[in-house]
């Protein structure tokens, strides 16, 4: 591949093709258990697809800093196992029926088996990470897991209530962006990067993850069920206030605020319909505002890479924020 600017997803994934194939194989190998239901649940989720953006970030960070070797593939699988475990638990907590256009695991195997399968995936991820014999790697993964659990608990406590923008950002950092941050940091650790480099690339991951989740939340409100692979406005139906909704609550008139609060408090769209909520969000330019905030985080992520030496891997990292904010699902 040339060192010209990378501008397409195909070019980025061509750059990482062999490594991502290896991550997928490692993920499959490591998620096999003597207990059939664990293997089946992990396999079902793995086959459901996904962008594999988190292991891709780990690989790009490691390669941009000159790392070679199999550890990046192994830790890429670890990160994907952790992410998969969160999906299993999320579907149980959210009482979800659909995940990526297919029945969720809890509707197929039941909550009890899925809770335990998610726990097993977490422990397996830590067991594999332990093989690196690097306390910094374990420290990052332990902190990551704690923050994600905190994020789930905070979200549960916030259901049915309005948030302010700072609270929303703190929530999505724990739920989403911390995994992006740690993916970048793990790549740095493997490459033996300096503390300033790890901090800068970790900030890239944080900003990228915030942009990713904000866009995800906007798509939940605006995209079709066919595109999302799940019911539209799922967050609102669960009583979650995302950024566009937070903005409309702060800027809408009294009736608009009352209508939004009715949906959040009801955990449903029976009293106030989806179209009415979309009309409120559009009148207050709340959807546009959320995308502007996502764009700002994407630009901050690109700026975080200034410390990184030029390479095709850096160019790929510079491209990823554009992919995140322009995606349609």
What DSSP designation does 131 have? T
Cβ-based burial of 258 (10 A; exposed 0-12, middle 13-18, buried ≥19):
exposed
Q: Is 127 exposed, middle or buried (0-12, 13-18, 19+ CB in 10 A)?
A: exposed
What is the C-alpha separation between 173 and 96, in angstroms, rounded?
A: 22
Residue 167's pLDDT is 95
107-143 per-position pLDDT tens digit:
899 999 999 999 999 999 999 999 999 999 999 999 9
Q: What is the pLDDT of residues 291-309, one digit of tens each?
A: 999 999 999 999 999 999 9
CATH of domain 9-319: 1.10.600.10
State how far the Cα of 194 lies from the Cα of 189, in Å rounded to an integer.
9
**Inter-residue contact 298 to 211 (CB < 8 Å):** yes
> Got the DSSP string for 182-234?
HHHHHHHHHTT--HHHHHHHHHHHHHHHHHHHHHHHHHHHHS-HHHHTS-TTH
- pLDDT tens digits for range 40-71: 999 998 887 677 899 999 999 999 999 998 99
Domain coordinates in residue numbering, the chain = 9-319
The total of other beta-carbon atoms located within 10 Å of residue 70's CB is 10
CB-based contacts of 31: which residues, under 8 Å, 6+ apart? 38, 39, 42, 43, 46, 81, 84, 121, 124
Phi, then psi, of 72 in degrees rounded to 5: -65, -35
């Amino acid at each position: 591949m040339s060192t010209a600017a990378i501008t397409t997803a195909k070019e980025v994934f061509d750059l990482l093709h062999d490594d991502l194939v290896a991550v997928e194989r490692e993920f499959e190998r490591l998620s096999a258990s003597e207990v059939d239901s664990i293997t089946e649940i992990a396999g079902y989720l793995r086959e459901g697809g996904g962008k594999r953006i988190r292991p891709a970030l780990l690989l790009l960070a490691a390669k941009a800093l000159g790392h070679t070797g199999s550890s990046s593939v192994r830790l890429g699988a670890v990160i994907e196992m952790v992410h998969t475990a969160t999906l299993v638990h999320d579907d149980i907590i959210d009482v979800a029926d659909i995940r990526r256009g297919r029945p969720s695991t809890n509707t197929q195997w039941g909550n009890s088996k899925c809770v335990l399968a998610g726990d097993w995936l977490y422990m397996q991820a830590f067991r594999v990470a332990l093989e690196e014999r690097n306390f910094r790697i374990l420290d990052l993964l332990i902190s990551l897991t704690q923050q994600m659990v905190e994020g789930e608990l905070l979200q549960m406590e916030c259901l049915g209530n309005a948030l302010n923008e700072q609270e929303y950002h703190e929530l999505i950092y724990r739920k989403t962006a911390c995994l992006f941050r740690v993916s970048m940091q793990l790549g740095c650790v493997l490459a033996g990067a300096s503390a300033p480099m790890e901090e800068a690339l970790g900030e890239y991951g944080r900003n990228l993850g915030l942009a990713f989740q904000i866009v995800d939340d906007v798509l939940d409100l605006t995209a079709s069920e066919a595109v999302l692979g799940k019911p539209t406005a799922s967050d609102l139906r669960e009583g979650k206030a995302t950024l566009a909704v937070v903005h409309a609550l702060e800027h809408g008139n009294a009736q608009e605020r009352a209508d939004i609060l009715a949906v959040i408090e009801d955990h449903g769209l029976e009293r106030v319909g989806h179209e009415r909520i979309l009309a409120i969000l559009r009148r207050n330019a709340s959807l546009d505002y959320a995308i502007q905030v996502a764009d700002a985080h994407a630009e901050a992520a690109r700026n975080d890479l200034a410390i990184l030496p030029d390479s095709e891997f850096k160019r790929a990292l510079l491209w990823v924020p554009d992919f995140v904010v322009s995606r349609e699902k």
